[in-house]
């Protein structure tokens, strides 16, 4: 009879599992509507173990903001690398397409939106500010765009966030066509 030793997950593997489940859990109900017990249950771990992996709920949520920020930057890097021109407008068009693909993942989008709404929590507010700083400086570096072009890129992106969050594509109305124009 063969006995197999159960291999235990490392803390990093558990942290990755928690992040995968926490993003879905927090995306559904937001920072304030989700308890650490909800996250622990979804991850299949105890609440006590969750606190060994993450100091507190704010730290966990800030880690999710960092994760989303990394996804945005990775997508932007791939998009920028695919552009065969140094024209800022062309680079920004590629970045816009990449951004649209990333926020189509509602979990990522909702974490970003919930993070903005929870930015009064010190750790989360710092994570959101860091996210924006990284994104703005990365877009500036890869595009060579002017401050006005960058401001417009982010303004359009924030409008896209709202349109995706409210599922405006499912509405056939003049106001939707105006905002999509």
Q: How high is the pLDDT of residue 177?
A: 93
**Is residue 130 a part of any domain in this protein?**
yes
What is the domain count for the chain? Answer: 1
**Is residue 158 a part of any domain in this protein?**
yes
Domain that holds residue 122: 57-180
Q: How high is the pLDDT of residue 163?
A: 94
Q: How high is the pLDDT of residue 15?
A: 87
Q: How high is the pLDDT of residue 12?
A: 83
Q: How high is the pLDDT of residue 114?
A: 97
Q: How high is the pLDDT of residue 1?
A: 53
CA distance 36 to 103: 25
**Is residue 47 a part of any domain in this protein?**
no
Considering the entire predicted model, what is its pTM? 0.88
**Is residue 142 a part of any domain in this protein?**
yes
Q: How high is the pLDDT of residue 16?
A: 87
Positions in the chain short of pLDDT 50: none
Q: How high is the pLDDT of residue 3?
A: 55
**Is residue 175 a part of any domain in this protein?**
yes
Q: How high is the pLDDT of residue 14?
A: 83
**Is residue 20 a part of any domain in this protein?**
no
Q: How high is the pLDDT of residue 11?
A: 75
**Is residue 166 a part of any domain in this protein?**
yes
């Amino acid at each position: 009879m063969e006995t197999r030793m159960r291999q235990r997950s490392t803390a990093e593997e558990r942290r990755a599992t928690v992040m995968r489940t926490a993003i879905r859990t927090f995306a559904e109900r937001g920072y304030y509507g989700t308890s650490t017990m909800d996250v622990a249950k979804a991850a299949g771990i105890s609440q006590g173990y969750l606190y060994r992996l993450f100091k507190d709920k704010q730290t966990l949520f800030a880690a999710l903001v960092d994760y989303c920020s990394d996804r945005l930057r990775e997508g932007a890097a791939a998009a920028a690398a695919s552009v065969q021109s140094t024209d800022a407008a062309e680079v920004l068009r590629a970045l816009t397409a990449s951004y649209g693909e990333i926020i189509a993942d509602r979990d990522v989008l909702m974490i970003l939106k919930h993070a903005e709404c929870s930015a009064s929590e010190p750790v989360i507010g710092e994570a959101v500010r860091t996210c924006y700083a990284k994104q703005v400086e990365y877009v500036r570096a890869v595009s060579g765009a002017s401050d006005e072009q960058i401001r417009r890129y982010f303004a359009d992106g924030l409008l896209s966030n709202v349109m995706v969050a409210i599922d405006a594509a499912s509405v056939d109305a003049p106001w939707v066509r105006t905002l999509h124009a």
